[in-house]
Structure 1
Amino acid sequence: MNEIARFMTPQAKANPTCKTAILLALSCIMLAIGGCRSTLPLSNRMESKYSLKKRKSYISCAGPESLARCALPVHVSGRDYMKMLELIETVKGSKYRYGGCSPEGFDCSGLVQFIYGSSYRITLPRSSADLALLGQIVTRQKLKPGDLLFFSSDNETVDHVGIYLGDERFAHASSREGVCISSLRQGWYDSRFAFGTSIIEVD
């Protein structure tokens, strides 16, 4: 309340009725501003938060003789993209295993690392938190097949990742269902979607 009083004129401070009215008005304005901040959609808040973090624009990829540094998004052929879809179909149904990164069992980031590494010979980070710092952030309205999708269960940090396939569908390793295809329109995924990132560009 002392902070609000700093903005009042001497005349307003001297008049008790005027002082009370001004204090109430300013308090309502401050509460409204605070309320707007807290009710921003999760995706807007997470996009803003992760945009401010130091983002990586390069990753390691397989060159002719050794690992090379590739700019994001990595350009891939339509043929390689189709191979990625086939690989997803092949591993669909694999069980969930925390820390897993092979068809014997995947967690969410392990699946992404395996799929992109096998399809495009690129080396991605192992955790969803590190994956979330790669490339440019993409809003839900501008997602393209091959983008990564990120989710937050605590409204603060990224803790789940999947691969966007188009038409609101994505592949991921669910702790309940294992490797599966889900829809962004489903309740939990719809409300917990944070943002997407562009990792590949299909030529």
Structure 2
Amino acid sequence: MYYKPRAIIILISAFLFSACSSHKQSNAPSTLANSAQSIFIKESNSIYKQPFDTWQGTPYKYGGDSKNGVDCSAFVQRIYLETENRYLPRTTYEQSKLGTKIKLSQAKSGDLVFFKTTHKDRHVGIYLDDQHFMHASTSKGVIISRLNNPYWASVFWQVRRVN
């Protein structure tokens, strides 16, 4: 039987990609090149520049909440505490109920972006601007990715404004 290459890639991707509520993960191919990340964040006037600089490259660790290893929801929780002195819930599920749901076109720096990576797994990051968000990647640690990357666009769920 002959399968189309695109169907095979989609099928394989479905098995490989998951979100931070899963114990074993691999990350979607959505990162900016290191030099592009550095240029983007250096040019940014965002209050998230300093925290990103200190967290960039921190390895992903399911259940981790320190610079020795962090998962996506703990990263978001720690960034909000560092930048806004505001405590957010620890889990992606609880974070996804905060604030007000808004359209992606209305997203501003600091809004939370959520993804449904499998039927039950979720992933969260912090919107920066111009379709960029920072998050704890399972394969590359804390990075900046683009929302219009085909993978992230395909699993995008919602944006929530916490403030």
Task: Tell me the TM-score normalised to structure 1 length.
Answer: 0.56
Aligned match of 2:34: none
What is the Cα-based RMSD across aligned positions, in Å? 1.5
Distance in 2 of aligned mates of 1:103 and 1:138: 31
Higher relative contact order (CA 8 A, sep 6+): 2
The gaps in structure 2 that reach 5 residues or longer are 1-44
> Identity of counterpart residues, as a percentage?
37
- The answer to whether structure 1 residue 104 and structure 2 residue 104 are counterparts is no
**Partner letter of residue 76 of structure 2?**
V
| Change over 3 Å in CA distance of 1:86–1:163 after alignment to 2 | same
Out of 80, 88, 106, the position equivalent to 1:124 is 88
Q: Answer 1 or 2: which has greater helix percent.
A: 1
Distance in 1 of aligned mates of 2:105 and 2:47: 26
Task: Tell me the TM-score normalised to structure 2 length.
Answer: 0.69
**Partner letter of residue 98 of structure 1?**
Y
1:82: Cα distance to partner?
A: 4.2
| Change over 3 Å in CA distance of 1:94–1:191 after alignment to 2 | same
Distance in 2 of aligned mates of 1:173 and 1:139: 23
Q: Answer 1 or 2: which has greater strand percent.
A: 1
- The answer to whether structure 1 residue 113 and structure 2 residue 77 are counterparts is yes
Report Cα offsets for 1:11-47 as digits up to 9, x if no partner.
xxxxxxxxxxxxxxxxxxxxxxxxxxxxxxxxxxxxx
- Number of residue-to-residue matches in the alignment: 119
**Partner letter of residue 115 of structure 2?**
F
**Partner letter of residue 173 of structure 1?**
A
Distance in 1 of aligned mates of 2:93 and 2:85: 21
The gaps in structure 1 that reach 5 residues or longer are 1-80
